[in-house]
Structure 1
Amino acid sequence: MRAMNGKSGLTSSSFQTYAEAVDWITGLQPFGIRPGLKRMETFMEKLDHPERRLKFIHVAGTNGKGSTCAFLTKVLRRNGYDVGTFTSPYIEKFTDRLRYNEEDIGEEDLLRLANRLKPLAEEMAASELGHPTMFEFTTALAILYFATVVYPDYVVWETGLGGRLDSTNIVNPVLSVITNVGHDHMDVLGNTLDRIALEKAGIIKAGVPLVSAVEQPEALEAIEQVCRDKKSTHYWLGRDFEYQVVSSELNRQQFDFRGPFREMTGLTISLNGYHQYKNAAVALMVIEVLRQYYALIVEKEDLYAALAETVWPGRLEMVSDHPPLLLDGAHNPEGAATLAEALASVYKYRKLHLMIGMLSTKEHSDYFRHILPLADTVILTEPNFRKKQSAEALAVKAREVLQEQNREIEITVEPDWKKALEMLLSRTGPEDLAVVSGTLYLISDVRSWILFESESEKGW
């Protein structure tokens, strides 16, 4: 029999502080990634299905999910709607990933909800279902927060990995989004684009419209078949809506948008990189579908202002001018191609100095093929995370790619990311550009260290 605190209703095994709760939740990381919805279904059943009270916009994709979620959140907020936003991983603090009206969940709310969920997690751990993972517990906590504490009009809901068996797929959304399909998490999702596409298409629900910017024919064919089977209308970039670039300069990119319901000209975004036109266009198509299906009210001036105001940390984010330091969480071939395109077209510099850290769960040769041709020097380091790829192993891959490209550049191996960062900054002149790229677990630490002189709380 566990002792009970009469005033608070807490048992002796309850979390007493926010820090204690977060330490316990992040301590679930060793349970890893366990695709499947049985534990989430059990959570929802025991909580009387809070997910059924919410309107979700479910966003999947290999890259661009975070930026698309940021655009959607800002547009909805600017037009007077209350918005919950669930994203991953977080950049600075655990509460970053559960936001209401662009503000983090309060520490007291998180503590209270974690104490409500912990006994259910312990019941599961003692059953054949096994212990919920960190991501499952956090997903359940997010649903409980949105459905029982803040009651948003819409929840912008980002998948963690894939779609079909991802914990977030416990919901039935009002609209689904697949930003793109690329080579990532192939150990879990499959090693061909059509198989990866089918996993992401698992978020498509019967009769629920889909907006996507998928380009590859084999991936698109797989998604289209799922839409036909589910009788879901598919709004596809390049067929049903499109954008046209007007101008591109640092922190200011303009484009026109044409969709099936209306056209808009002279739209401006402050996020950098050619790929952000596409992410913004996808977000605009989502808003347009919501206007048609759910009578969403959007004022033109608020829509334009929201796009221009949208920011997204850790993606082509300039965090220092002296010396110039750019952070970008490109960690797969498609992300590297996007970063390389931006470095070649948006930024001006005399020399480019790169610092890169990766996880061991991915294959990095194609990443290096995109990015190394632009670099003058490279520092390979290691994120402070249990699945880190060794800097030495990264160096082997980088040198192999340089050899096949018949190029030679200076490569330095420094496993300590703080020492690597000092080295990067010291070699970057005022007319040069320093770039930290790779896993967001490295980006989060560097960002917190540069901006706040503290280390981040990071987790998936």
Structure 2
Amino acid sequence: MVKTYAEALQFIHGRDRFKKKPTLVRMRQFMARLGDPQKSLTMVHVAGTNGKGSTVAFLRDLFMASGDTVGTFTSPFITRFNERISRDGEPISDDELVDLVNRVAPVVAQLDEELAEEGPTEFEIDTALMFCYFATHPVDVVVVEVGLGGLYDSTNIITPLVAVITTIGLDHMKILGDTIPKIATQKAGIIKQNVPVVCGRLPEDALAVMDQTARDKGTQVVALGRDYAVTNEPEAQWGERFAYDFDTEHWQRLQVGLLGQYQIDNAATALTAFTLAQRARGLTVTPADVRRGLKATQWPGRFERVNAQPLIAIDGAHNEPAMVEMAELLRRHFAQHDVYIVLAILADKQYQQMVATLLEVPNVHLILTQFQGPGQRAAATPAELEGAADQSDRVTMASDWPTALKTALGTMSAEDLLLLTGSLYFISEVRHYFKDDEK
């Protein structure tokens, strides 16, 4: 019997993260013994290399603006575990989490005994907690983010209203494959019979995989740049503005408070999925709701401004595709400023390419550092990162990120930008520092 919140977290985080053989059989057994709570839920399923979290946030706010109560399941968390299971943006309470753990723990113990080393993983337990929570705390729609990949992800036992695949890039290659088509095949695993699929801006070879999988499943793909389109309408304020075209929907001057061309793509992808979901439910999409929902969306750790003077932002860009987007954002919005970047990256990422991509932006100055990686995953050391920096005079090192922060603040002027980035886990640590200071 788990009695405290700390014990509940210990139970969850004490589980294996992965098993040797990927399978959904164990997850289906697990949920059957809990009464298959997922079967009572109306859901939208979101996969992709990058952009999942922001797309989930846009979907949540679009549904909420239209009057729905919305559940979300996201990963990883930025500040507290509870964020992963939220209702209308409000995380599950500590007491509710304890109650849920006590509900699933006996089933986990049974499966541990029957399956020996192959009992439920940490993420399977997270997913089970989420399904149980929303089955007993009813919502109109649950937006479910895939944890890793798609085909064998523990969330992939559902049949959603709409499936969403935001982006495809090279990440988690040891698990998902070392080419774009291999990774796309894993993501395409969430495509279900007769369920429409919305894709963001995908490489051609990835979109070909999606189209073929959809044909095999008797459905079709709606893809950004082919079936729906966006046009950037430059915005002087913090955020982005764009025009959107899909089917009979034509919108001008849609505004989002998140920065970056990729956030326009994420917003458009969410809007298309929302439109198809509402049609499937026999509901209409109204202009006022769309504008209100998109404008309201915030997502912690995604080019989030944590200080105005001097301007300090944090961003969870954690792989090479995300760094390419980041470099483009810096060129578009901060070309007239010096940009100081405190960079810390997990050692299992493509840190050589990530460092090189940032140094292609001429006004960027890097301060390479490290942080305490999650669990068994180590951060790349400053020396390893410097080895990737090709002896640039725009690169310095710091033993830890508070030292790096101090160095940057002592060097930059009032007009410059300070950005801390390289890992969502790093950003979680940094965000505590800035947000706790506000209290």
TM interval, shorter chain, is: over 0.9
1:398 corresponds to 2:398: no
Question: In the TM superposition, what is the alpha-carbon distance from 1:29 to its structure 2 partner?
Answer: 5.2
Say which of 228, 231, 240 aligns to 2:227.
240
Deviations 1:84-141 (A, max 9, x none): 0000000000101100111111111111010111111122222226232211111110
Say which of 345, 363, 370 aligns to 1:381.
370
Distance 1:396 1:35 in 2: 36
Distance 2:19 2:414 in 1: 43
TM-score normalized with structure 2 length? 0.94
Say which of 411, 435, 440 aligns to 2:424.
440
Question: In the TM superposition, what is the alpha-carbon distance from 1:248 to its structure 2 partner?
Answer: 2.9
2:394 aligned residue: 409
1:342 corresponds to 2:326: no
Question: In the TM superposition, what is the alpha-carbon distance from 1:224 to its structure 2 partner?
Answer: 0.7
Greater mean deviation of Cα atoms: 423-432 or 90-99: 423-432
Greater mean deviation of Cα atoms: 311-320 or 387-396: 387-396
- 1:267-278 matches, cutoff 5 A: 267-278=254-265
Question: In the TM superposition, what is the alpha-carbon distance from 1:424 to its structure 2 partner?
Answer: 3.3
Structure 1 residues 440 and 318, CA gap change in structure 2 (3 angstroms)? same
Greater mean deviation of Cα atoms: 320-329 or 439-448: 320-329
Distance 1:57 1:339 in 2: 27
1:143 aligned residue: 131
Amino acid at match of 1:352: V
SS of equivalent to 1:319: strand
- 1:294-309 matches, cutoff 5 A: 294-309=281-296
Question: In the TM superposition, what is the alpha-carbon distance from 1:366 to its structure 2 partner?
Answer: 1.9
Deviations 1:202-228 (A, max 9, x none): 000011000002431111111111000
Distance 1:325 1:28 in 2: 36
Question: In the TM superposition, what is the alpha-carbon distance from 1:257 to its structure 2 partner?
Answer: 0.9
Say which of 221, 234, 239 aligns to 1:252.
239
Distance 1:398 1:50 in 2: 48
Amino acid at match of 1:364: Y
Q: Is the 8 A contact 2:72 2:86 kept in 1?
A: yes
Q: Is the 8 A contact 1:316 1:328 kept in 2?
A: yes
- 1:173-322 matches, cutoff 5 A: 173-322=160-309
SS of equivalent to 2:188: helix
Gaps of 5+ in 1: 1-13, 455-460
1:35 corresponds to 2:22: yes
Question: In the TM superposition, what is the alpha-carbon distance from 1:354 to its structure 2 partner?
Answer: 1.3
Deviations 1:163-202 (A, max 9, x none): 0011111211111000110011011000000000000000
Distance 2:372 2:336 in 1: 26
1:360 corresponds to 2:347: yes
Distance 2:237 2:18 in 1: 42
Amino acid at match of 1:410: V
Tell me the percent identity: 36
Q: Is the 8 A contact 2:382 2:397 kept in 1?
A: no
Deviations 1:306-331 (A, max 9, x none): 11111111011110123321101111
Amino acid at match of 1:308: K
Question: In the TM superposition, what is the alpha-carbon distance from 1:38 to its structure 2 partner?
Answer: 2.4
1:10 aligned residue: none
Gaps of 5+ in 2: none
Amino acid at match of 1:22: L
Q: Is the 8 A contact 1:357 1:383 kept in 2?
A: no
Distance 1:385 1:428 in 2: 31
Question: In the TM superposition, what is the alpha-carbon distance from 1:420 to its structure 2 partner?
Answer: 3.1
Deviations 1:345-381 (A, max 9, x none): 1136642211111222222222122112332232222
Question: In the TM superposition, what is the alpha-carbon distance from 1:79 to its structure 2 partner?
Answer: 1.0
Greater mean deviation of Cα atoms: 220-229 or 261-270: 261-270
Question: In the TM superposition, what is the alpha-carbon distance from 1:393 to its structure 2 partner?
Answer: 5.2
Distance 1:450 1:426 in 2: 17
Greater mean deviation of Cα atoms: 244-253 or 155-164: 244-253
Corresponding residue pairs, total: 434
Q: Is the 8 A contact 1:254 1:268 kept in 2?
A: yes
1:18 aligned residue: 5
Greater mean deviation of Cα atoms: 384-393 or 51-60: 384-393
Amino acid at match of 1:139: T
1:170 aligned residue: 157
Q: Is the 8 A contact 2:44 2:144 kept in 1?
A: yes
Distance 1:125 1:296 in 2: 44
Q: Is the 8 A contact 1:74 1:310 kept in 2?
A: yes
Question: In the TM superposition, what is the alpha-carbon distance from 1:31 to its structure 2 partner?
Answer: 5.4
TM-score normalized with structure 1 length? 0.90
Structure 1 residues 49 and 244, CA gap change in structure 2 (3 angstroms)? same
SS of equivalent to 1:361: coil
Q: Is the 8 A contact 1:178 1:214 kept in 2?
A: no
Q: Is the 8 A contact 2:317 2:421 kept in 1?
A: yes
